[in-house]
Amino acid sequence: MFFPWVVMDPPWSVWPIILIAGVIHGLYLWGLSGAYQSGTLTSTYPVARGSAPLLVALFGIWVLDQTPGARTIGGAVGVAVGLLLIGNVALGRGDRRGLLLALMTGCFIAGYTVVDARGAEEVGGLGFFAAVAVVGAIVVVMLGRVSPRRLLASAREAIVVGLFANSAYGLVLLAYTRGDAANVATLRATSILFGLALVRRTVTRRLGVGAVLVVAGSILVSW
């Protein structure tokens, strides 16, 4: 889908960033798919997506020696409380492995957010992402030991998912070239609420409150 941009806007001047980003993207996809297999969408996705802004904020405070403001502290508390509520629901359902993989996925999201923003700023979004996607796909196939037969069997669903997922992330990378990466990445957390709206049958009151706290806290952390 994005391959023409590799030719029109070659990203090879930042090939080390492409390799690093591709590996992180592959690990992210592997972790997220494992979380979906082990737990429910309504608990694993909010934890994976919502923990990333909190991790980025903590990284800035502890490693970069940044002084947090009142909104950052309040947002971090909101995210933490929301994640605890969601995690408690997940543990009550026996989704321990799914919860652990979701938290691991949140670490990968925080990692690729920083790396992708740097690469997109250096060489542009779409050509960079096209190259990263190839590396990420190779990593996923290797980690999952995916055979050609499995790839062909899932081709129809994969094309639909690929069109939606790559279109969405292409827009995110374009946003990185025009705005602050932290704000762009954090606003993506609103997808948690859209995800819950699609599977309302398994949404409890506690899980819904936790998801709203995660989204609100994520926005405060970046703003």
Q: Does the pLDDT at position 133 exceed 80?
A: yes
Nearest Cα neighbor of 129 from 139, 118, 138, 120 is: 120
More confident residue, 60 or 170: 170
**Residues, the chain:** 223
Give the range with max mean pLDDT: 38-52, 128-142, 162-176, 188-202. Answer: 128-142
Lowest-pLDDT range of 7-21, 139-153, 179-193: 179-193
Structure tokens at 215: 């989204």
Contact status, residue 18 vs residue 135, Cβ threshold 8 Å: yes
Higher pLDDT, 118 or 56: 118
Whole-number Cα distances in Å, 185 to 43, 83, 139, 157, 221: 20, 18, 23, 26, 11
Closest CA to 93 of 49, 40, 149: 40
The pTM of the full predicted model, rounded to 2 decimals, is 0.81
Q: Among candidates 154, 126, 118, which has minimal Cα distance to 24? A: 118
The per-residue pLDDT for 81 is: 85
pLDDT tens per residue, range 86-118: 888 878 777 888 889 999 999 998 888 878 878
Percentage of the chain lying above the pLDDT 90 cut: 13
Average pLDDT over residues 192-210: 78
Interval 6-24 mean pLDDT: 88
In the chain, the percentage of residues whose pLDDT exceeds 70 is 89
pLDDT in tens, 59-88: 656 655 556 677 777 877 888 888 888 888
What are the pLDDT digits (tens) for 209-219?
Answer: 888 888 888 77
What is the mean predicted confidence (pLDDT) over 43-69?
A: 71
CA distances for 143 relative to 32, 105, 139, 140, angstroms: 13, 15, 6, 5
Terminal Cα-to-Cα distance of the chain (whole angstroms): 33
3-state helix, strand, coil in the chain (%, to 5): 85, 0, 15
Q: Please count the other Cβ atoms lying within 10 Å of the Cβ belonging to residue 101.
A: 24
What confidence tier does 28 reach under pLDDT thresholds 50, 70, 90? Answer: very high
Mean pLDDT of 193-200: 76
Average pLDDT, the chain: 82
In this model, does residue 160 exceed pLDDT 60?
yes
